[in-house]
Structure 1
Amino acid sequence: MKYRSKETKRDQARQLVTDLETRGSQAFPAFLECLRETGHHDLVELLQSGDSAHRPPPIPVQPSLIPLPVQNPKCTKKPDRPDLTPPVAVVPLRPVSLPVVKPPSPPSEAQRVRHDRLRRDSIQCYKMDASPCGICLIINNVDFEPASELKDRKGSNIDCDKMENRFKALNFEVIVKRNLKHIHIKHAMSSLAKRDHSAYDCCVVIILSHGTEVNHNRFPGAVHGVDGQVVPVQLITNYLNGQNCPSLQGKPKLFFIQACGGGEKDTGFEVSPDEVEPSLGGIDDQMDAIPMSSSSDSLSTSDELDARATLPTPSDILVSYSTFPGYVSWRDTEAGSWYVENLDRVLKENVATDDLVTMLMMVNAAVSQISAKGLYKQMPGSFNFLRKHLYFQSL
């Protein structure tokens, strides 16, 4: 045997201890237990208290991986015999409950739109975050001179108040001019064009007056001063084009015209009941039209033809008309005009989410469903030369 091959008993003992160390961590304790059982207590004491410096270094052994017992908390039955192994603590493989970390919720529609409002100028949208955003000039002609043969425009003050309040809510500096003769309309536009708009992002002009149809190149229609003389819409827009108002170059210039575009009355055409939801106009609907002195009928026409100018159409201009060129525009003496009433409502309800052109289509749809005296119709429209989407500020 290999133990007898050793020269001395000391070497034999060392070989035995080395073998025991290589047979696992429990081999040496088991050997000591055998010595105790055979009565070799002195040898056991010697081996336990021996000089460790003379013992060979232990060989590292990979510890055995013993699966932990799975304990069913609902099981309370005791085993038939005692467990020979020491109790082992049950360690869960993972915590019973982990803290739930909710992912950040996506921004709401209102938050997203509010963030989009502070947009920089881009190829898609105009910059509209200046404060104030721009100047809004309102010309409200109500009381016409007798020589003009035009009736006073009852209900127009209601329109004016609505537009003043609405554009103030859109963060515009609003200027209201009342009962201007045609020369004063020109002066008001000239004064607006001479202002420095460098700090602004937009300019708005709203004209509430009688109107007429005239020859035109680009923008149809003309509006009456209280003296009965007309100012073409084309001329009004030219005051603010890039050549005459450099500080508005590249910025949107918006014109809203509540006036008749001509003398024709539209009786509409019959459609399926599912196509529209007809709505009756006011009790006393009147027209913003050409001279009405020859007729006492409250529904008689009084607007003239639209204006045409010779200058080429500048960019970044939108002109919104209350009615189709050549046709009358209806106004309720108690509630204001159909066009302004719906323009104010649509802006209020949709400005936080929709661009201007989309909202004007909503206005068109709403006005087209109204009937004067259950008979006459009206169709707003616009001439759009904007290059980008326009979103008003939503405060």
Structure 2
Amino acid sequence: MEQPMSPESPQNHDVADAKPVSETDAFPFGPGKSKPHSTKPVASTIQTTSEFYSHVYKMNYPNRGKAIIINNKTFNPNTGLNERNGTDQDASALCCRLSELDFDVDLHHNLKAEEIKNTLKKAADSDHRDNDCFACAILSHGEDGFLWGIDRMIPINDLMEPFKGNKCLSLAGKPKIFFIQACRGTKFDEGVDMNVADAKGFMDVEPQFSLQKIPSESDFLIAYSVVPGYYSWRNSTNGSWFVQALSEVLMKHAQTLDLLTMMTRVNQIVANKFQSNTSNPDMSEKKQIPCVTSMLTKEVYFKSK
């Protein structure tokens, strides 16, 4: 549990003193509507038969791949959004963890919506043939289905679109991993009381290449800091609950566990370790659970290069 917090409200995240404060990555008004996206035919990719039917992604390309971190802390005054104190700690932790996993990390601060789109579009247009995978972390305010640039909202789907198998052929069949620290609504998770008792006594020939077709939507993992509809909590000194837990798990288990198992460990830490503690009773003793959406078709292991 965190130390006592200063009072605050969802509409006012300003920190009055230097004490750690629980905050939410929310904005004070509802999102607009995004235009529907058309669906294009699935893309074709070439793999060996053994690679195609393996239960583990091939992770022995020359490079691990590109990782992009977008850290939005301060927002334009006309947005009405408060500064996201503690997010620099999140960005620093993720930069360290992803670098340790051999990613080529690019860290960007305070990007406008169009700059976010252009940054990710440029990454998707790059040549990933020698890379294992792609990773991206976005730290910002948000609502379900939307993230904030420092100037306006942007649909999350618009950011994923360039990386789909029919758009980014050099990443087709490879993991595309997104970590999103942002609110997805305005509800609080009240939690539920649990009575917990201490347990006592209880062939050698490589097949030929074959042409296979895969879904363009496959091979994504999107790890959200919270389930749809809820606030996502962030400590103004230590960083967000989700990224703190993610950093801890990657540091301890990246060499031994697959990615989905690690994300389950992250869920457990956020659910059990953290609880808001503020002088405002309406915001105190709240809980949070991350949400992982996986379209992965194999297991992801980050073995050292």
| Match status 1:375 vs 2:285 | yes
C-alpha distance 131-332 of structure 1, shift in aligned 2 (>3 A): farther
Q: Indicate the residue corresponding to 1:330 in structure 2.
A: 233
| Match status 1:321 vs 2:224 | yes
Residues 185 and 228, structure 2, Cα contact 8 Å, conserved in 1: yes
Alpha-carbon displacement from aligned partner over 1:194-240 (angstroms, at most 9, x marks no partner): 11111101000100000112xxxxxxx2110111x111222211110
Alpha-carbon displacement from aligned partner over 1:62-98 (angstroms, at most 9, x marks no partner): xxxxxxxxxxxxxxxxxxxxxxxxxxxxxxxxxxxxx
Partner Cα distance (2:216, 2:181) in 1: 21
Residues 189 and 287, structure 2, Cα contact 8 Å, conserved in 1: yes
- TM-score, reference length from structure 1: 0.57
Q: Which amino acid aligns with 1:371?
A: Q
Give how far 1:148 is off. 0.7
Q: Indicate the residue corresponding to 1:142 in structure 2.
A: 73
Q: Indicate the residue corresponding to 1:245 in structure 2.
A: 168
Give how far 1:130 is off. 2.7
Q: Which amino acid aligns with 1:362?
A: R
Alpha-carbon displacement from aligned partner over 1:127-164 (angstroms, at most 9, x marks no partner): 11234300001110011111110001111010000001
Alpha-carbon displacement from aligned partner over 1:21-67 (angstroms, at most 9, x marks no partner): xxxxxxxxxxxxxxxxxxxxxxxxxxxxxxxxxxxxxxxxxxxxxxx
Q: Which amino acid aligns with 1:166?
A: R
Residues 322 and 379, structure 1, Cα contact 8 Å, conserved in 2: yes
Partner Cα distance (2:291, 2:197) in 1: 23
Q: CA RMSD in A?
A: 1.8
- TM-score, reference length from structure 2: 0.73
Q: Indicate the residue corresponding to 2:156 in structure 1.
A: 233
Larger Rg, first or second structure (1 or 2): 1
Q: Indicate the residue corresponding to 2:185 in structure 1.
A: 262
Residues 68 and 136, structure 2, Cα contact 8 Å, conserved in 1: yes
- Structure 1, unmatched stretches of 5+, are 1-118, 214-220, 276-311
Give how far 1:121 is off. 7.0
Q: Which amino acid aligns with 2:169?
A: P
Residues 131 and 171, structure 1, Cα contact 8 Å, conserved in 2: no
Partner Cα distance (1:258, 1:177) in 2: 15
Partner Cα distance (1:169, 1:131) in 2: 16
Q: Indicate the residue corresponding to 2:248 in structure 1.
A: 345
Q: Indicate the residue corresponding to 1:159 in structure 2.
A: 90
Partner Cα distance (2:245, 2:180) in 1: 14
Q: Indicate the residue corresponding to 1:108 in structure 2.
A: none
Residues 166 and 216, structure 2, Cα contact 8 Å, conserved in 1: no
Partner Cα distance (2:146, 2:295) in 1: 19
Q: Which amino acid aligns with 2:295?
A: F
| Match status 1:222 vs 2:154 | no
| Match status 1:366 vs 2:269 | yes
Give how far 1:313 is off. 6.8
Q: Which amino acid aligns with 1:376?
A: K
Provide the secondary structure at the position in 2 that maps to 1:147.
Answer: helix
Q: Which amino acid aligns with 2:124?
A: A
Give how far 1:270 is off. 1.6
Give how far 1:122 is off. 5.4
Alpha-carbon displacement from aligned partner over 1:140-193 (angstroms, at most 9, x marks no partner): 001111111000111101000000111110000001111011111111111111
Give how far 1:272 is off. 1.2
Q: Indicate the residue corresponding to 1:14 in structure 2.
A: none
Q: Indicate the residue corresponding to 1:187 in structure 2.
A: 118
Q: Indicate the residue corresponding to 2:136 in structure 1.
A: 205
Partner Cα distance (2:262, 2:197) in 1: 22
The count of aligned residue pairs is 233
Partner Cα distance (1:131, 1:166) in 2: 19
C-alpha distance 367-274 of structure 1, shift in aligned 2 (>3 A): farther
Q: Which has the higher strand share?
A: 2
Alpha-carbon displacement from aligned partner over 1:96-116 (angstroms, at most 9, x marks no partner): xxxxxxxxxxxxxxxxxxxxx
Q: Which amino acid aligns with 2:147?
A: V
Residues 351 and 394, structure 1, Cα contact 8 Å, conserved in 2: no
Partner Cα distance (1:274, 1:244) in 2: 52
Percent identity reads 38
Residues 171 and 393, structure 1, Cα contact 8 Å, conserved in 2: no
Residues 165 and 216, structure 2, Cα contact 8 Å, conserved in 1: no
Partner Cα distance (1:175, 1:157) in 2: 14
Alpha-carbon displacement from aligned partner over 1:333-377 (angstroms, at most 9, x marks no partner): 100001001101101111121100000000001100110115110
